[in-house]
């Protein structure tokens, strides 16, 4: 449960329906510079720095996916945003999915890029060094407080998330599941997420985990195609 309330930093561009962007572990909203440029002609695009990332403060609440989802709710409330399009990348996708399960009525649509339901969704050859780094950082953090932020970041990938696939059956939000063909998330896991969300769409873009940055043209086209097919709100 959250223990504090902080002010998240964000960058904003454009007008129209709000499109909120959530970056991955250890990054900040600038990761989405290509999406800010592409979608701001039609949407009010807001790239948010997650708690303890970029220019957003760490605060004192638990450093967890659940806390970040509550931070997002506060962020929307503070700006009077009832419903938004929500795009999350990597850990940002995990935050977006957690938020969708808790507050589905707040979403116009959901875009999950390189998300995972549990740590085992990450390819083993990628996850093993992360696990080793986490244990090393945990030991060092006992001796040096400066190592605590690194341990917290790695814990997000080693201990979280923990979302049962069956829980996704409750989602009625229009959803796009998108990942790279050489993603660090196993393709079988990405397909599991897609199968578990009723009516979701799946897009596999040539590239690795960072397709929004490295293959922005292909990524943006897939997202734009999904958004354009959404029914108009009455």
Cα 59 to Cα 52, 146, 219: the distances in Å are: 7, 16, 33
Q: With bands split at pLDDT 50, 70 and 90, how would you rate the model's confidence at 233?
A: confident
The Cα–Cα gap between 42 and 78 comes to: 23
Looking at residue 234, its pLDDT comes to 61
Looking at residue 156, its pLDDT comes to 97
Q: Supply angle C-alpha 150, 115, 124, rounded to 5.
A: 70
Looking at residue 2, its pLDDT comes to 63
* Mean pLDDT, rounded, for 220-226: 98
Mean pLDDT, the chain, integer: 97
Would the pLDDT of 59 be above 90? yes
Residues 6+ apart with CB under 8 A from 38: 216, 220, 224
161-183 per-position pLDDT tens digit: 999 999 999 999 999 999 999 99
| Encoded tokens for 101 | 């399960």
* Mean pLDDT, rounded, for 33-42: 98
Looking at residue 5, its pLDDT comes to 86
Would the pLDDT of 3 be above 80? no
* Mean pLDDT, rounded, for 212-219: 98
- The conformation of residue 51, written as its DSSP 8-state character, comes to T
102-151 per-position pLDDT tens digit: 999 999 999 999 999 999 999 999 999 999 999 999 999 999 999 999 99
**DSSP β-ladder status, 10-13 and 43-48:** antiparallel
Whether residue 42 contacts residue 4, with contact meaning beta carbons closer than 8 Å, is answered with no
Looking at residue 1, its pLDDT comes to 55
Which of 103, 125, 87 has its CA nearest to residue 212?
A: 87
């Amino acid at each position: 449960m959250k223990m504090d309330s902080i002010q998240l930093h964000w960058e904003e561009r454009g007008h129209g329906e709000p499109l909120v962007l959530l970056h991955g572990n250890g990054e900040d909203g600038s990761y989405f510079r290509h999406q800010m440029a592409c979608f701001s002609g039609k949407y009010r695009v807001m790239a948010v720095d997650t708690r303890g990332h970029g220019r957003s403060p760490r605060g004192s609440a638990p450093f967890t996916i659940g806390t970040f989802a509550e931070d997002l709710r506060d962020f929307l409330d503070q700006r009077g945003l009832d419903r938004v399009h929500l795009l999350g990348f990597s850990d940002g996708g995990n935050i977006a999915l957690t938020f969708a399960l808790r507050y589905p009525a707040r979403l116009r649509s959901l875009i999950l890029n390189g998300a995972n339901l549990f740590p085992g969704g990450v390819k083993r050859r990628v996850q093993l060094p992360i696990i080793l780094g986490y244990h090393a950082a945990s030991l060092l953090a006992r001796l040096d407080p400066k190592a605590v932020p690194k341990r917290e970041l790695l814990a997000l990938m080693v201990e979280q998330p923990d979302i049962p696939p069956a829980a996704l059956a409750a989602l009625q939000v229009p959803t796009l599941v998108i990942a790279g063909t050489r993603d660090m998330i196993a393709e079988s896991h990405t397909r599991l997420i897609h199968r578990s969300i009723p009516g979701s769409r799946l897009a596999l873009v040539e590239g690795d985990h960072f397709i929004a940055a490295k293959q922005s043209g292909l990524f943006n086209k897939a997202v734009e195609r999904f958004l354009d097919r959404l029914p108009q709100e009455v």
